[in-house]
A and B are shown apart, each in its own frame.
Chain A
């Protein structure tokens, strides 16, 4: 599955695992429900003799407790590893951007570099180099926001009074849209931004003259 960042490939693998397991469980259980309801639908009048009045089956009940328990334990191991990989921070990111959410917009402040602003009509653009690690250091200056890039399969909340950080390793160049995902007042829906992943050479040139 083609993904835009190294983290997104871990996230996508976890998505696919859960989607396939979930779909398999759903098909089995939906099948059992519909099979039971249709196979034993009442054809005769209500005066017919009662069906067998069994009440439990201890072995079955233990089985359908233990099997799902084992399944969720296995899923947890996978999900734990995926999350650890996604949240891992490298010691020396090549780019560090302080991202601030406010009502209603974003600023992107590059360490030793420019600060990017925007407007509803012209959303701010976060420029990142391909093949290098970028550190996003996130906070908010008023209420809770959430920094979401759907193509990266990732979001992190921007909360006033708290600073949180995560790394992005873009693997392909391209343009992506981002939104605020936490309701923050009337113009929450318009609080978008753009992400542009460029080659390291282009990124170096952009840092020197960010107007382009």
Chain B
């Protein structure tokens, strides 16, 4: 370790060095920290939403404020948290996992981060304008978002902010693909890169195909609003359906941009805590690309109720996605099978991911059936479905990743007891919040309503859901407390505290600038395991 210690530069923790950094690890940590701050804000907005809905005809906020709350909540969670967290994590991990000193384009990488940060701030700055922030939902459908109806500056700031974030995302994807294709260490063939890295390659390809459609959609909307365009204005021959096509041509692949990286996280964590190699490596990689490919052909399942699309085609393509997703589930179970499984916090969150995401996946197949979607679409059933995917799925994988890679990033572990408390509060709170929403939807509660009548079981179900959201807040606060407590823990963890597999665990924690002074031989997808168990090496 002395050679690595020598590589560590003198403590450069000053602000200027962070503002000007092009080091992928620092950019990764900036990305992660920023996205977690946006998560905190979006979570507070969610609590305000749940508080308003805690009983029928509540007056905690008015309709105007409520529309801004759910718009900013959705925008921040999707564009500023779940997707960018994955980009931040990959920024930190990708060069380490393939044995590279940095990303292919370090300054482009820094550009991406700053575009992301300011894009988000611009979206939120709408709150300071006289008519308030954007209030048309994270989808911002035209013609509702046209200037005739949405006259406020908040909508323009939303367009500009999300546009900048989409540019940042495309630039980052260019960086990831180039880095993985060109910068791998000797011996690191494509069939030996970790599953997380593979998932980020698939994610980046999706970003290339999907995000330009979003950028185009936003630009057209801006042209409509301020430069006399009529792309989405039916009064002049424009098409509201075109807005939806462009939006969902981005929006459905975006769902996989927000889940494939977390499939990667789970695929890294389960083998380590099962003390086994990942089961069906090739199948997992092929499944990732099958999901990515299919996800480009399912966008109009968000438009079944328009009566303007070929429902059976998009329904069948959506059903097919269940097949590679099922392959992944079976591979994760196969990895645990006959293993030696420990329930450390990262593994607990991974199991929570599997249990929650499964329900989101199954309701996903259900709503891919148009006759079911005719009832479920734009109801609380859909709200439940998407939160099981993005909250029960991605969010749990995000916490798994934080607990797993925290020691690599900061050289000390998060507290395990607080970690387990955080897990149980989030797991129980999450299910109390979102399970009842399936029933609310079936009972006829539309989404994006600030008030609802006291009919059926809606009052009871909403009260239960709101109480669950407060339990989730407690879980997040326990995590924040854990960060504070562990900051005072000075016990160094060494390079490989979990007895893990991939190359990031071959260097010190935190890694020095340019990452490695030497690399172990790379003869499989788990070189660090091979170095620890030379007797089991594939070529031994």
Contact = CB atoms under 8 A, between A and B. Distances in A.
B229 interface: no
A82 interface: yes
A163 to B, nearest CB: 10
A146 interface: yes
B374 A181 contact: no
Most buried by B among A40, A46, A48, A187: A40
A26 B322 CA distance: 13
Interface stretch (B16-24, B245-253, B306-314, B465-473): B306-314
B438 to A, nearest CB: 10
A185 B279 contact: no
Contact of B341 (A42, A103, A186): A42
Interface in A16-36: 18-19, 22, 25-26, 29-30, 32-33, 36
A103 B413 CA distance: 55
B240 A160 contact: yes
Interface string B166-204: 000000000000000000000000000000000000000
B219 interface: no
B340 A161 contact: no
Given A50-B533, A64-B326, A80-B312, A181 B378 contact: yes
Interface stretch (B29-37, B441-449, B476-484): B441-449
Given A64-B326, A80-B312, A36 B333 contact: yes
Given A22-B363, A189-B451, A37 B371 contact: no
B136 A33 contact: no
A142 B143 contact: yes
A164 B307 contact: yes
B337 A40 contact: yes
A86 B374 CA distance: 10
Contacts of B311: 83
B226 to A, nearest CB: 19
A64 B144 contact: no
Nearest to A67: B326
B137 interface: yes
Given A33-B333, A148-B446, A69 B315 contact: no
B464 interface: no
A68 B322 contact: yes
B369 A56 contact: no
B499 interface: yes
B105 interface: no
A161 B281 contact: no
Given A142-B143, A162-B241, A186-B67, A26 B275 contact: no
Interface in A157-171: 157, 159-162, 164, 166
B366 A33 contact: no
B336 interface: yes
Contacts of B280: 55-57, 61
B392 to A, nearest CB: 13
A184 B281 CA distance: 47
Given A155-B375, A162-B241, A183 B336 contact: no
Interface in B131-154: 135-137, 141, 143-144, 149
Interface stretch (B353-361, B414-422, B505-513): B353-361
Contacts of A133: none
A65 B144 contact: no
Contacts of A86: 371, 374
A164 B319 CA distance: 26
B305 A14 contact: no
Contacts of A56: 279-283
A4 B482 CA distance: 54
A107 to B, nearest CB: 18
Given A29-B358, A36-B337, A162-B308, A51 B319 contact: no
A143 interface: yes
A203 to B, nearest CB: 25
B25 interface: no
Contact of A40 (B64, B338, B443, B448): B338
Interface in B331-358: 331-334, 336-343, 351, 354-355, 358
13 contacts: A32-B333, A33-B354, A36-B336, A51-B340, A54-B276, A55-B277, A55-B278, A55-B281, A68-B323, A150-B443, A181-B377, A186-B67, A189-B450
Given A144-B240, A150-B442, 11 more contacts: A36-B341, A37-B343, A50-B340, A55-B279, A76-B316, A83-B312, A156-B307, A157-B306, A162-B306, A181-B378, A186-B64
